[in-house]
Structure 1
Amino acid sequence: MSGACDGCAVAGLARAGAQRGEPVVEGVVAEGVVAESPDPETGPARCEETAAATGRESDGGDPSRSVPPSPSEGRRARTVLPGLSDTEVVRLVTAVSGGSPGGGACSSDAAVERFARAALTTAVEPGDLEAGRLVAALGPEGVLRAVVEGHDAERVLRAARDAEVVPLRRGAPRAAFEDASPERAAEDARAVRRIAECLERWRPRLSLDESCRAVERASRLGVQLLTPDADVWPEGFASLEGGEPLALWIRGDPNRLTRLEHSVALVGARASTDYGEHVAMEAAAGLVGRGFAVVSGGAYGIDAAAHRATLASGGLTVAFLAGGVDRLYPAGNSDLLRRIAGEGVLAAELPPGNAPTRWRFLMRNRLIAAAASATVVVEAGRRSGSLNTAGHAAQLGRPLGAVPGSILSPASAGCHRLIREYAAICVTSAEEMAELADPLGTGPTGSPAAAAVRPVEGEPRGGDAEGVVLSVLSSARRADADEIAARAALPFTTVAAILGRLDLAGRARESGGGWTLSERRHA
Structure 2
Amino acid sequence: MNTPRASAERLARAALTRVIEPGDERGGRWLRTYGAVDLMRRLTHPQGPEDDLPGASTARLESHRRRAALADPVQDLATATAAGARFLIPGDEEWPRQLDDLADARPVGLWVRGHSDLRIWALRSVAVVGARACTPYGAHMGAVLGSGLAEKGWVVVSGAAAGIDGAVHRGTLAAGGATIAVLACGVDVVYPRGHAELIGRIAEQGLLVGELPPGDHPTPSRFILRNRVIAALTRGTVVVEAEYRSGSLVTARAAQKLGRFTMGVPGPATSGLSAGVHELLRGEAVLVTDAAEIIELVGDMGELAPARRGPVLPRDLLAPTTARVLEALPSRGAVAARDLAREAGTSTDEALGRLYELHSLGFVERVGDNWKLTADALRPAGARRGGA
TM-score normalised by structure 1 residue count:
0.56
Deviation at 1:368, TM superposition (A): 0.4
Residue 243 of structure 1 is aligned with which of 97, 105, 116? 105
Counterpart of 2:209 in structure 1: which amino acid?
A
Equivalence for 2:297 = 436
* Matches for 1:462-477 after TM superposition, within 5 Å: none
Residue 424 of structure 1 is aligned with which of 259, 268, 285? 285
**CA–CA distance in 1 between the matches of 2:118 and 2:55?**
42
Residue 140 (1) aligns with residue 23 (2): no
Equivalence for 1:201 = 63
Deviation at 1:153, TM superposition (A): 5.5
Equivalence for 1:98 = 2
**CA–CA distance in 1 between the matches of 2:86 and 2:75?**
14
**CA–CA distance in 1 between the matches of 2:9 and 2:240?**
40
**CA–CA distance in 2 between the matches of 1:257 and 1:342?**
18
Give the RMSD, CA atoms, in angstroms: 2.1
CA, structure 1 residues 127+197, in 2 after alignment: closer, same or farther (shift >3 Å)? farther
CA, structure 1 residues 209+416, in 2 after alignment: closer, same or farther (shift >3 Å)? closer
Q: Secondary structure at the match of 1:194?
A: coil
Equivalence for 2:359 = none
Deviation at 1:280, TM superposition (A): 1.1
Deviation at 1:314, TM superposition (A): 1.1
Q: Secondary structure at the match of 1:379?
A: coil
Which runs of 5 or more residues in structure 1 are unaligned?
Answer: 1-96, 101-105, 158-191, 445-523
Deviation at 1:155, TM superposition (A): 3.6
* Matches for 1:120-139 after TM superposition, within 5 Å: 120-139=16-35
Deviation at 1:199, TM superposition (A): 2.9
1:187-215 deviations in whole A, cap 9, x for unaligned? xxxxx343766533311111266333322
Equivalence for 2:209 = 347
Counterpart of 1:235 in structure 2: which amino acid?
R
* Matches for 1:249-288 after TM superposition, within 5 Å: 249-288=111-150
Equivalence for 1:118 = 14
**CA–CA distance in 2 between the matches of 1:207 and 1:356?**
22
1:299-329 deviations in whole A, cap 9, x for unaligned? 0111001101111111110001001111110
**CA–CA distance in 1 between the matches of 2:210 and 2:86?**
11
1:330-375 deviations in whole A, cap 9, x for unaligned? 0001110010001100011011111100000011111100001100
**CA–CA distance in 1 between the matches of 2:55 and 2:170?**
48
Deviation at 1:440, TM superposition (A): 4.8
- The question of whether the paired residues in 1 share the 8 Å contact of 2:18 and 2:71 is answered with no
- The question of whether the paired residues in 1 share the 8 Å contact of 2:295 and 2:303 is answered with no
TM-score normalised by structure 2 residue count:
0.74
Q: Secondary structure at the match of 1:250?
A: strand
- The question of whether the paired residues in 2 share the 8 Å contact of 1:402 and 1:415 is answered with yes
- The question of whether the paired residues in 2 share the 8 Å contact of 1:252 and 1:343 is answered with yes
Counterpart of 2:289 in structure 1: which amino acid?
T
Deviation at 1:257, TM superposition (A): 3.9
**CA–CA distance in 2 between the matches of 1:348 and 1:441?**
34
Counterpart of 2:39 in structure 1: which amino acid?
V
Deviation at 1:226, TM superposition (A): 1.1
Q: Rg larger in 1 or in 2?
A: 2
Counterpart of 1:113 in structure 2: which amino acid?
E
CA, structure 1 residues 424+390, in 2 after alignment: closer, same or farther (shift >3 Å)? same
**CA–CA distance in 1 between the matches of 2:90 and 2:302?**
27
Deviation at 1:408, TM superposition (A): 1.4
CA, structure 1 residues 375+153, in 2 after alignment: closer, same or farther (shift >3 Å)? farther
Which runs of 5 or more residues in structure 2 are unaligned?
Answer: 306-388
Residue 336 of structure 1 is aligned with which of 198, 201, 208? 198
Q: Secondary structure at the match of 2:157?
A: strand
Total equivalences in the alignment: 305
Deviation at 1:222, TM superposition (A): 2.3
Q: Secondary structure at the match of 2:120?
A: helix
* Matches for 1:251-400 after TM superposition, within 5 Å: 251-400=113-262
- The question of whether the paired residues in 1 share the 8 Å contact of 2:264 and 2:288 is answered with yes
Q: Secondary structure at the match of 1:346?
A: strand
> Looking at both structures, which has the greater relative contact order when contacts are Cα pairs under 8 Å and sequence separation is at least 6?
1
- The question of whether the paired residues in 2 share the 8 Å contact of 1:280 and 1:306 is answered with yes
- The question of whether the paired residues in 1 share the 8 Å contact of 2:150 and 2:175 is answered with yes
**CA–CA distance in 1 between the matches of 2:203 and 2:128?**
18
**CA–CA distance in 1 between the matches of 2:116 and 2:36?**
22
CA, structure 1 residues 195+443, in 2 after alignment: closer, same or farther (shift >3 Å)? farther
CA, structure 1 residues 280+114, in 2 after alignment: closer, same or farther (shift >3 Å)? same
Counterpart of 1:154 in structure 2: which amino acid?
E
Deviation at 1:388, TM superposition (A): 1.2
Deviation at 1:152, TM superposition (A): 4.8
**CA–CA distance in 2 between the matches of 1:441 and 1:112?**
46
Residue 211 (1) aligns with residue 107 (2): no
Equivalence for 1:6 = none
**CA–CA distance in 1 between the matches of 2:7 and 2:157?**
30
- The question of whether the paired residues in 1 share the 8 Å contact of 2:129 and 2:158 is answered with yes
**CA–CA distance in 1 between the matches of 2:216 and 2:118?**
24
